[in-house]
Structure 1
């Protein structure tokens, strides 16, 4: 069932984290933050919503890096129940798609809980001081191919954050598969 993200809580502080990445390193939020902003996104390998937009995510991350906005992806899904979301498969996906950002594994799901992540993809766009400025969609396509000339909502919002420190007042929620939480 498709889930959608809540409205942006402007200024909400990004929770710190320390997580392993598919490149063999361990990263903290402070190490990854960009000089003009930071995009933290929750994705996974198996979600059809993520699969449909993955190439556009990679494109936008590259374009945002040129503006001083860093990007990081986190997978928090239960890999026991969803083996295609395992750390090994994450590394394969990152390599196959040439991720220009670290792909981190939140095995305990603590980071997803602290961020109050809801779905994949779930985008959190922070300003240079790590205050939330965007909690919306990549674009209007959902899990469909983007039409020619589709407005790049996420890119436009983070471009504004890089330039002004503020995200747009009008934001459309991201829609995707629910985070696959572990059973107690």
Structure 2
């Protein structure tokens, strides 16, 4: 049994977007396979924007962030589900990561830029939806925002391996949501 935390990063609290359904499908597949699943719905949390390095290094996170940190600390596998907006993750997800991945929780600045990975031993799956074809995002955009997330945040704090599922042409008349929900549920079953 793997302890999984699903971080649903679509900022609309309405809950009726493809990202919500994909997070639900992954969770259902994982639970069906006997894995333990905890969910974090970012749109339901109080997430403030950090405005200084001092605030990030010395500030105290609010209770929503502290609770999310405890869930992440207990996890073995993290799943991030979010839409691609303006070529990157929504601002709410970035703000959450800045709040949660603080020194002392995610990394130890006293061990230098490469030695203080406090979230080692965890893996991640990143699921990104987008209106463009996924191959276009990889070829033309070079998956730059995904690479920045993978290398600059997840690997920096010790989370690896990081696998990605890119879901393109969302909203196109040919898009088959049911097929993607089944594929993502299978990913949850395999917990990878």
TM-score class, shorter-chain normalisation, is: 0.3 to 0.5
- The structure with the largest strand share of the pair is 1
Larger CA Rg, structure 1 vs 2: 2
- The structure with the largest helix share of the pair is 2
Structure 1 length-normalised TM: 0.33
Q: Pick 1 or 2: higher relative contact order, CA cutoff 8 A, min separation 6.
A: 1
